[in-house]
A and B are shown apart, each in its own frame.
Chain A
Amino acid sequence: MTPPLLARLLLLAFAAESEFEFVAGDLLEEFHILCRSHGRANARRWYWSQVIRSSAALTSLRMRHGDMAHVAAAAGFGVAVPLLLLDRLWTFVYSLIPLKEGLDRAPGFLAANIVCAAILAAACGATSRSFRRAAAIAVTVTAAAAFSTWESLGATPFLYVCSLLTAAPAGALLGYRSKGKLS
């Protein structure tokens, strides 16, 4: 008898790394007790209700432990802000070149942006202690990269945006993996 898979995945997403093992173990233990006393269907309902109603408390606990702060700082200060600054720098540099306007005519600058984003994301991924946190960083880094290119969306080629949104999460995950291999 196992609790609902989706509820377990939700719990994995909400709970902090330091607490997940104990919370999941406690819920599983009580789930087995309830299966015996109230039947499997009731136990599954109870498990769902516990996970959903615990989400706010577990998220706040996660923030208190610095888990969320690390992910947000890595995505924001590690990738989004440097990318925005690079974008502004290239726009300024390019505006000084006569007869050429728009980032779409500067593939070299865009390629440099992608390489920078991948390297920064890899550095952020390498700071995570577990694959779970590296995956969370990869997701938020993608959102951060999307946010930082949002303003110049019309002026940049579609291929650039796609490459950036692929390079950023891939960099974060590769950064985590290569750290594991090195240590």
Chain B
Amino acid sequence: MAKGETLGEFEHLILLAVLRLKTDAYGMRVRREIAGRTGRDVTIGAVYATLDRLEEKGLLTAKLSGPTPERGGRAKKSFTLTGAGVEAVNRSRRELESMLEGLRFPLPEGRR
């Protein structure tokens, strides 16, 4: 597998958030989904930079929707996973499961 094809941790989180949000996955909702589930205080800039990178890699596809009053008349950019995106999430999950196999959690504190 080429180096650029592997998913970074944050990229993985973004793909999973987009997957969870189904058809309504746009910057603000993705940010709130990750913040709500992981407790991380994610910035909108980081979310957009990663969404853009994933779109460039062909793992996400974007669709523009019309402006709404609560957004000050601004348009929305919604994202959905492509076939390659679904494949990347599946592969990532397989890799993680394989690495976790045989380990017992939680690990004792201070263990090396």
Contacts and interface: CB of A to CB of B under 8 A. Distances in A.
| A in complex with B | yes
Interface of A: 14, 19, 21-30, 32, 50, 53-58, 60-61, 64
Contact of B28 (A14, A29, A55, A61): A29
Given A21-B74, A25-B74, A27-B28, 4 more contacts: A25-B71, A25-B75, A28-B74, A61-B48
B71 A23 contact: no
Interface of B: 26-28, 31-32, 43-46, 48-49, 52, 67, 70-72, 74-77
Contacts of A26: 26-28, 31, 44, 71, 76
A97 to B, nearest CB: 56
Contacts of A56: 45
A50 B43 CA distance: 6
Contacts, number: 69
Main secondary structure of the interface of B (DSSP, over half): helix
B76 A23 contact: no
A109 B63 CA distance: 55
Contact of B49 (A21, A22, A24, A60): A60
Q: Which of B26, B44, B70 is the most central at the interface, judged by chain A CB atoms within 10 Å of its CB?
A: B44
